[in-house]
Structure 1
Amino acid sequence: MNAPIWQKPDSVIDPQLMQFLAGEDVVLDRELFAFDIEASQVHARGLARIGLLSHGDADTLIAALGELRDDFNAGRYRLAAPFEDGHSAIEAWLTERLGDLGRRIHTGRSRNDQVLVAQRLYLRDRLQRLAHQVHALAALCLRRASDDASLPMPGYTHLQRAVVSSTAMWWAGYAETFYDSAALALRTRDWINANPLGTAAGYGVNLALDRDYTTAALGFDRLQVSPIAAQLSRGKYEWQALAALTTSLQDVRRAAWDLSLFGSTEFGFVRIEPQFTTGSSLMPNKRNPDVVELLRAAPAVALGAMNELAAISSLPSGYHRDQQAGKAPLLRAFAQGLQSLQVAEALLAAISWNAGAMRAAIDAGMYATDIAMELAQSGVPFREAYARAANPQLWQGRDDPEASLAARVSPGGAACPRLDVLRSRLAQLASAM
Structure 2
Amino acid sequence: MGSQSVEQPEPQQTWSQRFESALHPAIAQFNASIGFDIQLLECDLDGSVAHAKMLAKVGILSEAEREQIVSGLETIRGEYRRGEFNPGIDEEDVHFAVEHRLIELVGDGGKKLHTARSRNDQVGTDLRLYLRGQIEQIREQIRAFQQTIFNLASQHVETLIPGYTHLQRAQPLSLAHHLLAYFEMAQRDWERLGDVLKRVNISPLGCGALAGTTFPIDRAYSAKLLGFEEIYHNSLDGVSDRDFAIEFASAASIIMVHLSRLSEEIILWASEEFRFVTLGDTCSTGSSIMPQKKNPDVPELVRGKTGRTFGHLQGLLVMMKGLPLAYNKDLQEDKEAIFDTVATVSGCLQAMTILLEEGITFRTNRLNQAVAEDFSNATDVADYLAAKGVPFREAYGLVGKVVKTSLAAGKLLKDLSLEEWQALHPKFEADIYDAIAPAQVVSARNSAGGTGFKQVRAALERAQSLLLKP
User: TM-score, normalised on structure 2?
Assistant: 0.87
Counterpart among 126, 131, 136 of residue 118 in structure 1: 126
Q: 1:396 aligns with which of 402, 414, 436?
A: 414
Contact 1:2 1:82 (C-alpha < 8 Å) held by counterparts:
no
Aligned to 2:370: 361
Relative to structure 2, which stretch is displaced further, 160-169 or 40-49?
Answer: 160-169
Closer, same or farther in 2 for the Cα pair 1:239/1:10, shift >3 Å? closer
Q: What is the CA RMSD across the aligned residues, in angstroms?
A: 1.7
Cα 1:368–1:40, aligned 2, differ >3 Å: closer, same or farther?
same
Letter matched to residue 359 of structure 1: N
Which blocks of at least 5 consecutive residues in structure 1 are unaligned? none
CA shift digits 1:270-302 (9 cap, x unpaired): 111112112222222222211220011232121
SS at match of 2:282: helix
Contact 1:253–1:299 (8 Å) recurs in 2: yes
Quote the Cα distance in structure 1 between the aligned partners of 2:437 and 2:364. 14
Q: Is 1:333 matched with 2:364?
A: no
In the alignment, the residues of structure 1 paired with residue 450 and residue 18 of structure 2 have an alpha-carbon distance, to the nearest angstrom, of: 75
Mapped partners of 2:293, 2:231: distance in 1: 57
1:217 alignment counterpart = 225
Check whether the contact 2:279–2:294 (CA below 8 A) recurs between aligned residues: no
Partner of 1:191: 199
Question: What is the Cα deviation at residue 364 of structure 1?
Answer: 4.1
- Could you tell me whether the CA contact under 8 Å between 1:270 and 1:353 is conserved in 2? yes
2:14 and 2:188 map into 1 onto residues whose CA distance is: 45
Give how far 1:240 is off: 0.5
Deviation at 1:143, TM superposition (A): 2.0
CA distance in 2, matches of 1:142, 1:2: 61
Task: Report the structure number with the largest CA radius of gyration.
Answer: 2
> 2:316 matched to 1:298?
no
Q: 2:178 matched to which residue of 1? A: 170
Aligned residue for 2:318? 311
Identity %: 31
Q: Distance in 1 between matches of 2:17 and 2:275?
A: 70
- 1:270 equivalent to 2:277? Answer yes
Alpha-carbon deviation of 1:5? 7.5
Greater Cα shift, 136-145 or 399-408: 399-408
Matches within 5 A, 1:12-161: 12-13=21-22, 14-22=24-32, 25-161=33-169
Residue deviations 1:72-101 (CA, integer Å, cap 9, x gap): 122122233231000001110110011110
Letter in 1 for 2:87: L
Q: Secondary structure at the match of 1:396?
A: helix
CA deviation after TM superposition for structure 1 residue 10, in Å: 4.6
For 1:22-48, what per-residue CA distance to the aligned partner results, in whole angstroms no more than 9, with x for missing partners?
A: 1xx102112111101100000000110
Conserved in 2, the CA contact under 8 Å of 1:156 and 1:163?
A: yes
Equivalent in 226, 234, 246 of residue 239 of structure 1: 246
Task: Give the 5 Å matches for 1:346-425.
Answer: 346-350=354-358, 351-362=360-371, 363-390=373-400, 391-392=402-403, 395-397=413-415, 400-415=437-452, 416-417=455-456, 418-419=458-459, 420-425=461-466
Specify the SS of the correspondent of 1:112: helix
Cα distance in 1 for partners of 2:133, 2:11 equals 31
Partners in 2 of 1:102 and 1:3 — Cα distance? 20
- With over 3 angstroms needed to count, the CA separation of the structure-2 counterparts of 1:300 and 1:403, relative to structure 1, is same
The question of whether the paired residues in 2 share the 8 Å contact of 1:127 and 1:189 is answered with: yes
Quickly say closer, same or farther: Cα 1:7–1:272, change in 2 above 3 A: farther
1:41–1:2 CA distance, 2 compared to 1 (3 A): farther
Please give the alpha-carbon distance, in whole angstroms, between the structure 1 residues aligned to 2:82 and 2:365: 53
* Separation in structure 2 between the aligned mates of residue 9 and residue 320 of structure 1, nearest angstrom: 20
SS in 2 for 1:408: coil
Q: CA deviation at 1:2?
A: 7.7
TM-superposed deviation, 1:134: 1.1
SS of 1:361 mapped into structure 2: helix
2:158 & 2:13 partners in 1: Cα distance? Answer: 67
Give the total of aligned pairs. 426
| In 1, Cα distance between equivalents of 2:383 and 2:11 | 77
CA contact (8 A) 1:154 1:162 kept: yes
Native 8 Å contact 1:364 1:396 kept in 2: no
CA contact (8 A) 1:4 1:84 kept: no
Structure 1 residues 231-260: Cα deviation after superposition (integer angstroms, max 9, x where no partner): 3313x2111111111111111101100000
CA contact (8 A) 1:149 1:168 kept: yes
**How far 1:179 sits from its partner (Å)?**
0.8
Find the counterpart in structure 2 of residue 202 from structure 1: 210
| Residue from 15, 19, 37 that aligns with 1:6 | 15
Q: Distance in 1 between matches of 2:144 and 2:388?
A: 44
1:385 is displaced (CA, Å) by 2.2
SS at match of 1:99: helix
Q: Is the 8 A contact 2:117 2:208 kept in 1?
A: yes
User: Separation in 2 of the partners of 1:79 and 1:221?
Assistant: 33
* Contact 2:132-2:197 within 8 A present in 1 as well: yes
- Conservation of the 8 A alpha-carbon contact between 2:204 and 2:235: yes
8 A Cα contact 2:169 2:374, kept in partner: no
C-alpha contact (below 8 Å) 1:110/1:201 kept by paired residues = yes
C-alpha distance in structure 2 between counterparts of 1:151 and 1:126, whole Å: 37
CA contact 1:140–1:175 (8 Å) conserved in 2:
no
Tell me how far apart the structure 1 counterparts of residues 105 and 414 of structure 2 sit (CA, whole Å): 87
Confirm or deny: 8 A CA contact 1:130 1:245 kept in the other structure: no
